[in-house]
Structure 1
Amino acid sequence: MELSISHTTEYTYTAPVDYALQKLRLRPLSSVMQQVGQWEVEIDGGKIEASYRDHYGNHIDLVSIEPGASALTIRASGQVRTLNSTGVLGSVMGRAPLWHFLQPTALTMPGEAIKALPRVASDVSAQVADLHRLSDMILKTLPYMSGGTAVDTPAEDALKGETGVCQDHAQIFVATARLSGLPARYVSGYLRINEQVQQEATHAWAEVFLQGLGWVGFDVSNGVSPDEKYVRIAIGRDARDAAPVEGLRMGDADESLMVSLQVQQ
């Protein structure tokens, strides 16, 4: 499937800003699941200071704001040809070892609610089915609806709530899989939604490393494994590691954020 993506993030400030630095994970990389064609990241009100690969293999751009600017606009756009691998990325080993993805983080630390979810069988032949059942249970326990959680809500707190979003579902799934001794990680990316070009935010799902298969994806919010409608951007142990945009600034100005995202075939 040929997907065209346009993703704009615009910050506006109530007063000129002397210093701000944004870390961008906005460049998808080619893999067995996708082939990235033309792709650009454009900056208005700032510039790219440095680019590198982080310890997960994600492409990072560090962007500084122009001193005294009152707005910063980041545009990522391009074309990606996707393939349906039924969610199986395979035994692709990056810079981070498997044991790193067994470690909990502040956002994925399991508490009593997560520990009460069912474990995945040690029998390799049963693990895929168990993980799909786990995905179904998480979605039934925490129905998808925005507004119930925030970007910094830990998985345990989210599960105790009434509704959640894809970030919460992915982090709960990751935390639970790790309790069964399975390396698991968070994935940020884009999803083509049928009959909906304009979207409010990027998407998120989880990947678990299984013997014989390698990394396998699970989108809890939609109850499927990622197919040709998905584009991977970044990975990490939690949402913070794989956030498409994060940053810091100095000064007393208030900040407003507007995101515009279109994913279409």
Structure 2
Amino acid sequence: MPLLSIRHVTQYEYRQPVSFGEHRIMARPRESYDQHLIHARLEIDPEPSELRWLHDVFGNSVAIARFNHRATKLCVASHVRLDHAPLAGDQIDIEDYARCFPFTYSSEDMPDLLRSIERHYLDPSRKIDTWARHFVRDDAKTETLAMLGDIAASIKRDFTYVPRHAKGTQTPIETLEKRQGTCRDFAVLMIEAVRALGFAARFVSGYVYNPSRGEGRVGGGNTHAWVRIFLPGSGWVEFDPTNGIVGNRGLVRVAVARDPYQAIPLSGTFMGLPGSYIGMKLDVEIRLDPTALSGVSIAPLAVNSRNGAP
């Protein structure tokens, strides 16, 4: 079981002292059978006057910070150490009735899955529907897992990954037409495509790392985004369209939500003179314990340092 150390630092800088409104921080990985937190520490400078934790409607850990004094910078640093248990695609077990598409979720599961099946973006010309139906075989049975894997692999193969530092996510139609985007854009496209086919899907924000020397991962260096789809027999299963992979190998979950805006790593406000804001720096470093797995790189597996907009 790989042992990971994750350091995630976000720093905002200002020309004159500004005051800070409430900030919402989502940087603590979700505790689960496949990822176990050993240590988690959150450092904030300037020190908040109040820091409290809560679980949101999806069970994500959220820190709420409030401040009572002004400063020329705000630095939020998350330090995490955890055991990660990768699950490969060939370990996914699906109930017999759901192994081929189409199928219907059980009456017990359906009430809790409905909001994750609902479409979130308008598609008046049914472009997403048409694209998604291309993965359904007409000449033979369509295996559920193979079809979903093909969708993820198709995005990896046919779309160009282009980092974008600005906030926000493209609509799935924009991504489909441009044939390029970020990991967030690819996740939203796949979510809407599989929802068009009747699957329950959710957006995931977290971290990506290289499990071994021979396995490269695209989209890291800050946070990463991918998809979880509910499959009877295995529950919520990871699909990463940016890398075209199935399973959680190399993926550490922090937040799970129906839509990207519900899983923003850091959000908040500031008040100051016009032109006070200088910029934002992000640094993410993920290290794999050299004793946890043989034959892997122990250099930083995902490192990023950049300036960007708030």
Q: Structure 2 length as normaliser, TM-score?
A: 0.74
**RMSD of Structure 2 on Structure 1 (CA):** 3.1
SS of 1:135's partner is helix
Secondary structure at the aligned position of 2:29 is classed as: coil
Q: Which residue of 2 aligns with 1:39?
A: 40
User: What residue number does 2:208 align with?
Assistant: 191
Aligned-pair CA distance for 1:73: 0.5
Counterpart-to-counterpart distance in 1, 2:61 and 2:250 = 21
Q: Give the structure 2 partner of residue 97 of structure 1.
A: 112
Deviations 1:98-131 (A, max 9, x none): 11212333xx544644233123669997111111
Render the CA deviation track for 1:35-79: whole Å, top value 9, x for unaligned.
111111111114253210000000011123443212110010121
Residue matched to 1:242: 263
Q: State the Cα distance separating 1:155 from its structure 2 match.
A: 2.5
Check 1:89–1:53 CA distance in 2 against 1; reply closer, same or farther (3 A cut).
farther
SS of 1:157 mapped into structure 2: helix
Q: Matched residues in 1 for 2:190 and 2:113: separation?
A: 17
User: 1:114 touches 1:175 (CA, 8 Å); kept in 2?
Assistant: yes
Q: 1:116 to 1:236 in 2, by over 3 A?
A: same
Residue 307 of structure 2 corresponds to none
User: 3-state DSSP class of the match of 2:260?
Assistant: coil
Partner amino acid, structure 2, of 1:114? I
SS at match of 1:201: coil
* Structure whose CA Rg is larger: 2
Partner of 2:97: none
Instruction: Show the counterpart of 2:103.
Output: none
Distance apart, 1:237 and its partner CA: 1.3
Q: Distance in 2 between matches of 1:45 and 1:143?
A: 39
- Of residues 218, 230, 237 in structure 2, which corresponds to 1:216? 237
Name structure 1 gaps, 5 residues minimum.
Answer: none
In 2, are the aligned partners of 1:89 and 1:216 still within 8 Å (CA)? Answer: no
Match of 1:71 in 2: 73
* Pairing of 1:51-200 with structure 2 (within 5 A): 51-86=53-88, 97-105=112-120, 108-110=121-123, 112=125, 113-119=127-133, 126-147=143-164, 151-193=168-210, 200=221
Distance 1:157 1:67, change over 3 A: farther
The residue type equivalent to 2:209 in the other structure is R
Provide the rounded CA distance (Å) in 2 between the counterparts of 1:148 and 1:234.
Answer: 20
Q: Distance in 1 between matches of 2:59 and 2:130?
A: 33
1:139–1:81 Cα change, 3 Å: same
Q: Measure, in 2, the Cα distance between the counterparts of 1:235 and 1:100.
A: 14
Task: Provide, for residues 206-255 of structure 1, a one-character-per-residue CA deviation record: whole Å limited to 9, x for no partner.
Answer: 01112222111101111112334221100111221112112233343325
Change (3 A) 1:83 1:246: same
Partners of 1:54 and 1:78 lie apart in 2 by 20
Partner Cα separation in structure 2 for residue 36 and residue 235 of structure 1 = 17
Distance (Å, rounded) in 2 between the aligned partners of 1:2 and 1:51:
25
Structure 2 portions without partners, runs of 5+: 95-107, 289-310
1:207 aligns to 2:208 (yes or no): no
Work out the CA distance in 2 between the residues paired with 1:127 and 1:226. Answer: 15
Give 1:163 shift: 1.9
Identity of aligned residues (%): 26
CA distance in 2, matches of 1:69, 1:19: 8
Paired residues in the alignment total 260
